[in-house]
Structure 1
């Protein structure tokens, strides 16, 4: 009987994690698509990074990577940027893994969330620079997208750090998200 209860409890926790992952993927997709500011380089700036970072902080690096990668890639597919789907899937997943691992190590330290968010944005800026270089055939030409990616990163960092601080104040949310 006790083993059945433990097995059910573990299964319930896994189902909750999968559902939370799906919800944060939807949030990443929506945050990317709703606030959609075209950039001069042909892409667009959005607040999807805030959702990717928040997913890494709430779910941890691995579920956060799935949520951020899948949600952001869905946004590219639905927004008419299919060439970016595979790159976005990988870039946002790596972003969430980096942020989630650093957050796990530093979450109790002053400024730990900010440091984790800043480190998490590095793969985004570098990843899109490299992918654009592949598309354009020029590292110099693709560097034109770096400023808009830095602005997007800044918004993502600010919003995710603010939301994480607000959510950490809630005992209910902390009870549901052990990583927070």
Structure 2
């Protein structure tokens, strides 16, 4: 069913805001590395499944980069914008092309861990990138699982609109 532009903008703003909030609310610093674990990925992946690739990109990019700015990780903002934006975009594209929610959340989650590996390597060197990679994979997996659960619960509600 086609939604009007106002509805789409409200949904986008809601998901971007929720991504920021969930990133900041459940923030666990990564030991021996920069950055932190969070569950903002769950919201941006959910947005991509419900609203598609473009929304997935913008929700991930804006919501996550805003969280970095608020949390004092401004140096990550341009990287987060790209990594999380593409995570949401890939989730939306994979789901749209395959209809497979598992692939649509786990492949982008692995992309996120890879993107942050290269970010940490560029910013801090090999040791920091290696130290953070397992925690980023864990964050991606947890976000993907939560997104799958939320999608199963919320998709029937969103598809009725």
- Once residues 6 and 82 of structure 2 are traced to their aligned partners in structure 1, the CA distance between those partners, rounded to angstroms, is 24
**What is the aligned length?**
159
- Once residues 154 and 128 of structure 2 are traced to their aligned partners in structure 1, the CA distance between those partners, rounded to angstroms, is 40
Instruction: Report what 1:133 is aligned to.
Output: 121
Residues 1:174 and 2:159 are matched in the alignment: yes
Where do 5+ consecutive residues of structure 1 fail to align? 1-9
Can you list the C-alpha shifts for 1:98-140, whole angstroms capped at 9, x where unaligned? 1101111222xxxx111110111122111100111111243x5
Residues 1:16 and 2:4 are matched in the alignment: no
Q: CA deviation at 1:141?
A: 4.1
- Once residues 91 and 80 of structure 2 are traced to their aligned partners in structure 1, the CA distance between those partners, rounded to angstroms, is 16
Aligned-residue RMSD, C-alpha: 1.5
Q: CA deviation at 1:74?
A: 0.4
- Greater Rg by CA: 1
TM normalised by structure 2 equals: 0.93
Map residues 64-83 of structure 1 onto 2, 5 A cutoff: 64-83=56-75
Secondary structure at the aligned position of 2:4 is classed as: helix
Secondary structure at the aligned position of 2:34 is classed as: coil
- Once residues 141 and 19 of structure 1 are traced to their aligned partners in structure 2, the CA distance between those partners, rounded to angstroms, is 38
Q: CA deviation at 1:15?
A: 2.0
1:37 to 5, 28, 31: 28
Range that drifts further, 117-126 or 77-86? 117-126
Moved over 4 A (4+): none
TM normalised by structure 1 equals: 0.83
1:163 to 121, 142, 150: 150
- Once residues 128 and 76 of structure 2 are traced to their aligned partners in structure 1, the CA distance between those partners, rounded to angstroms, is 17
Q: 1:114 to 1:150 in 2, by over 3 A?
A: same
